[in-house]
Structure 1
Amino acid sequence: MLNPWRSELSLILLALLIGAFLGKLFHHPWLSIWVVVLVYLAHHLIHANRLLEWLRGGKASKLPQSTGIWEEIFYLIFRLRRRNRRRKKQLIRMLERFRTATAALPDATVVLSAGDEIDWFNDAAGRLLGLRRGDIGQKIGNLIRYPKFNHYLAHANYDATVDIPSPANANLQLDIRIVPYGEDLRLLVAQDVTQLRFMERVRTDFVANVSHELRTPLTVIRGYIETLVDNAGQIPEPQARMLLRIEEQTLRMQSLIDDLLTLTRLESTTHPLPKQRVAVPQLLQAIVEEAQELAVDAKPEIALSLETNSGLLGSEQELRSAFSNLVHNAMKYCRAGDRVTVRWRPLGSGVQLDVSDTGPGIAPEFIPRLTERFYRVDAGRGPGGTGLGLAIVKHVMARHGAEFRISSELGRGSTFSCLFPGHRTNVDAHAHTDETAG
Structure 2
Amino acid sequence: MVLDEEWMVEWSNAMAREFLGIPKPKDQLHSLFEYIDDRVFLDYVRKGEFSRPLQIPAPVDYSISLEVRVVPYGKGKHLIQARDITRLNQLENVRRDFVANVSHELRTPLTVVHGYIETMIDADGDEELDQWKPILGQMQEQSMRLQRIVADLLTLSRLETHERVEGLEVIDVGDVLDRIADSARSLSAGSKHDIRVECESGIGLWGNPSEIESAFSNLVFNAVRYTPDGGQIVLKWWRRGDESYFAVTDTGVGIEAQHIPRLTERFYRVDVGRSREEGGTGLGLAIVKHVLIRHNARLKIDSQPGVGSSFTCCFPADRTRTLSVAELGDRSASGA
Describe how 1:297-316 pairs up with structure 2 within 5 A: 297-316=190-209
Does residue 183 of the first structure (1) align with residue 75 of the second (2)?
Answer: yes
> The residue matched to 2:62 in structure 1 has which SS?
coil
- Bigger Cα Rg: 1
Aligned partner of 2:241 in structure 1 is 348
Give the CA deviation at 1:288: 1.0
| Aligned equivalents of 2:197, 2:262: Cα separation in 1 | 28
TM-score normalised by L of structure 2: 0.89
The match for 2:65 is 173
The SS at the match of 1:351 is: strand
Tell me, yes or no, if the aligned pair for 2:12 and 2:25 is still in contact at 8 Å: no
Gaps of 5+ in 2: none
Count of paired positions: 323
Report the AA paired with residue 225 of structure 1: I
Match of residue 119 from structure 2: 227
CA positional deviation for 1:138 = 1.7
Per-residue deviation, 1:343: 1.6
For 1:283 and 1:272, the matched residues in 2 are separated by 19
Q: Distance between the aligned counterparts of 1:277 and 1:343, measured in 2?
A: 18
Give the aligned partner of residue 322 of structure 1.
215
Q: Which moved more, 1:356-365 or 1:224-233?
A: 224-233
Q: What secondary structure sits across from 1:179 in the alignment? A: strand
Superposed displacement of residue 416, structure 1: 1.1
234 and 320 in structure 1: CA distance in 2 versus 1, 3 angstrom threshold: farther
- The equivalent residue for 1:371 is 264
Moved more, 381-390 or 265-274: 265-274
- Which of 141, 150, 153 aligns to 2:42? It is 150
Give how far 1:305 is off.
1.9
Q: Residue 308 of structure 1 contacts residue 346 of structure 1 at CA under 8 Å; is this kept in 2?
A: no
d(CA) in 2 for partners of 1:132, 1:372: 41
Give CA deviations for 1:173-194 in whole Å, capped at 9, x if unaligned: 1111122333333222211110
**Can you give the 5+ residue segments of structure 1 that lack an aligned partner in the other structure?**
1-109
CA RMSD of aligned residues (A): 2.2
Higher helix share: 1
Contact 1:280 1:310 in 2 (8 A): yes
Query: What letter matches 2:19 in structure 1?
Result: L
CA distance in 2, matches of 1:424, 1:233: 58
Establish whether residue 422 from structure 1 lines up as the match of residue 313 from structure 2: no
Rounded to whole Å, the distance in 1 between the matches of 2:182 and 2:139 is: 28
Does the C-alpha gap of structure 1 residues 127 and 331 become closer, same or farther in structure 2, counting only changes over 3 Å?
Answer: same
Shift of 1:348: 2.1
* CA deviation profile, 1:366-401 (whole Å, cap 9, x unmatched): 222211111111112352411111111111112112
Aligned-pair CA distance for 1:154: 2.1
Distance in 2 separating the partners of 1:232 and 1:207:
39
Distance 2:46 2:163 in 1: 26
Cα displacement (A) at 1:218 = 0.9
> Contact between 2:299 and 2:311, CA under 8 Å: does it hold in 1?
yes
Give the counterpart of 2:93 among 186, 201, 204. 201
**Distance (Å, rounded) in 2 between the aligned partners of 1:159 and 1:419:** 15
The CA distance in 2 between the partners of 1:334 and 1:374, in whole Å, is 20
Corresponding residue of 2:19: 128
Kept in 2: contact 1:310–1:429 (CA 8 A): no
Higher strand share: 2
Partner of 2:286: 391
Summarize deviations over 1:294-334 as a string: whole Å, max 9, x none: 33323422112222232211111111111111111111112
Deviation of residue 232 (structure 1)? 5.0
CA contact (8 A) 1:295 1:331 kept: yes
C-alpha separation between the residues in 2 aligned to 1:199 and 1:111?
Answer: 31
Match of 2:225 in 1: 332
